[in-house]
Amino acid sequence: QVQLVESGGGVVQPGKPLTLSCVASGFIFSSYSMHWVRQAPGKGLEWVAVISFDETHEYYAGSVKGRFTISRDNSRNRMSLQMSSLRPEDTGVYYCARGSRSYNTEFDYWGQGTPVTVSS
């Protein structure tokens, strides 16, 4: 069965960096685009970033562009989100989600999420 397991969340001071990871299993990782979606406490879902199945395309939400970098290692079934210059408004649960071969479709499987708190 498809499994997505996020890790790396925690408490970090404003302006500091943090890297999240997502390990996938149960499917051919290299055939699917992968996404990060976040949810601030008590708020709705916000799409953050996507990386294409072959790493040739990356797209970001305007709120994180220039500060976050998405990457993947198809040999290790792993995706990462490098977050820099973190702000309090980046606080929330970060979900890893599977897309399809095309990057602009649905998110059909989600991880359990990893919480990030940006606070001094």
Partner 1 sequence: SYDLTQPPSVSVSPGQTASITCSGDNLEDKYVYWYQQRPGHSPVLVISLDTRRPSGIPERFSGSNSGNTATLTISGTQALDEADYYCQTWDSNTGIFGGGTRLTVL
Interface ranges with partner 1 (CB under 8 A): 35, 37, 44-47, 50, 59, 61-62, 95, 103-108, 110-113
Least Cβ distance, residue 44 to partner 1 (angstroms): 4
At 15, is the secondary structure helix, strand, or coil? coil
Residue 60 has which token pair? 């970001």
Question: Which whole-number Å values give the CA distances from 73 to 18, 19, 66, 100, 119, in the listed order?
Answer: 18, 14, 21, 17, 30
Least Cβ distance, residue 97 to partner 1 (angstroms): 8
* Between 54 and 108, CB nearer to partner 1: 108
Inter-residue contact 91 to 117 (CB < 8 Å)? yes
Q: Which of 65, 29, 25 is nearest to 47 (CA)?
A: 65
Q: Report how far residue 84's alpha carbon sits from residue 1's, in angstroms, rounded to the nearest whole number.
A: 33
* Between 59 and 84, CB nearer to partner 1: 59
* Between 13 and 104, CB nearer to partner 1: 104
Least Cβ distance, residue 68 to partner 1 (angstroms): 14
* Between 13 and 105, CB nearer to partner 1: 105
